[in-house]
Amino acid sequence: MRLLRGLQHIPEFDAGTVATIGNFDGVHRGHQALLTALRIQADRLKLPVLVILFEPQPGEYFLSASAPARLSSLREKLTVLRQCGVDYVYCLKFDKRLSLLSATEFAEQFIFSCLRVNYILIGRDFRFGSNRQGDVDLLKTLAKKSAACVQTFADFAIAEERVSSTKIRNMLQRGELSQAANLLGRPYSLCGRVIQGDGRGRQWGIPTANLSLHRINLPIRGVFCVQVQRGKQLLYGVANIGSRPTVDGSKNSLEIHFFDFDESLYGDLLHVFFLHKLRDEVKFSSIDALIAQIHDDITAAKLFFQPFINNLVE
């Protein structure tokens, strides 16, 4: 899969492309079903599959800090899109210039000219262009000028309920991890590189790996049992994600204590899967109370993993 940005170095796409467009936040089972249908059409037409998305997401551009917490970073989206058989991802920088383009200008400049889309599959509520003035009917009208085809994809439902990023976000905020995993098609996860922390955990005899998140809002907070992928290696532990109120944390962070592990992880990229919530993040009355609770969390997490990994129990 190839990531494309800007207007430079775009492939010619002489024969055209089949495409879809959206945020793809979480790349959940609804997105996956749409991409499967798109892959089938691409194979029939012998054309590449192209996904068009935006960074930042439009809601983040307009709402800034008050935007809903995103489920996945661009890196995390690309990982799942690659697994879904996507050939190209065109990432558009969403800025003032792009936000002011009319629906007609956006479609003609990017969809049908730059990217040579001759088949596009979108959701029925798709909107585009300045002030979201463009809809499916307008896109179909514009597509005719380029002899392109626009089709809509029916909402994907599980147990008669529509799958959406908003629904998954709400489940995560309530700690309903198994329900969220069912809609995502996998356990919820985050990626990040290990950075230098403040060393408190090691001073307390509970060393942690600290991950940089670069997120103002988080879809998930609290203390969790986690499985972590480090390259081909799987690690297990207990993680706190949030602002660390007891130690006057000023920004969101993800800290993981691994069981029976004492290697350096600085600079490593970790893929963290949240499997079970132990508790909410709270402010303790003292550091001693916090340390005691962390030890209780470690014991609880080891009990959670005991059926799967016998050597985790001391």
Residues 195 and 299 occupy one common structural domain? yes
Helix (H) or strand (E) holding 203: helix 200-203
The string of pLDDT tens digits covering residues 256-296 is 999 988 888 889 999 999 999 999 988 887 888 888 999 99
Does the residue 171 lie in any domain? no
Residues 156 and 207 occupy one common structural domain? no
Residues 124 and 208 occupy one common structural domain? no
Q: Which of 273, 218, 277 is nearest to 244 (CA)?
A: 218
How high is the pLDDT of residue 312?
A: 45
CATH at residue 293: 2.40.30.30
CATH at residue 29: 3.40.50.620
Residue 234 bridge partners (DSSP) = 229
Domain count, the chain: 2
- Within 10 angstroms of residue 235's Cβ, the number of other Cβ atoms is 19
Separation of alpha carbons 236 and 305, rounded Å: 8
- Opening angle at CA 135, ends 105 and 76, nearest 5: 85
Helix (H) or strand (E) holding 8: none
Does the residue 36 lie in any domain? yes
Residues contacting residue 273 through CB under 8 Å, at least 6 positions apart: 186, 187, 188, 189, 226, 227, 228, 229
Separation of alpha carbons 144 and 117, rounded Å: 12
Residues 57 and 133 occupy one common structural domain? yes
Does the residue 243 lie in any domain? yes
Residues 32 and 133 occupy one common structural domain? yes
* Regions of the chain where pLDDT drops below 50: 312-314
β-bridge pairing 2-5 and 88-93: parallel
Residues 230 and 98 occupy one common structural domain? no
Does the residue 132 lie in any domain? yes
Does the residue 181 lie in any domain? no
Residues 23 and 133 occupy one common structural domain? yes
Residues contacting residue 269 through CB under 8 Å, at least 6 positions apart: 191, 192, 193, 230
**CB-CB contact of 149 with 232 (8 Å):** no
Q: What is the four-CA torsion angle of 100, 104, 109, 114, rounded to 10 degrees?
A: 130
Q: What's CA 67's distance to the chain center, in Å?
A: 15
Q: Helix (H, G, I), strand (E, B), or coil: what is residue 169? A: helix
Q: Which domain holds residue 256?
A: 188-309
The string of pLDDT tens digits covering residues 77-127 is 999 999 999 999 999 999 999 999 999 999 999 999 999 999 999 998 999
Q: Please state whether the predicted TM-score (pTM) of the whole model is above 0.75.
A: yes
Separation of alpha carbons 82 and 38, rounded Å: 14
Does the residue 60 lie in any domain? yes
Residues 152 and 199 occupy one common structural domain? no
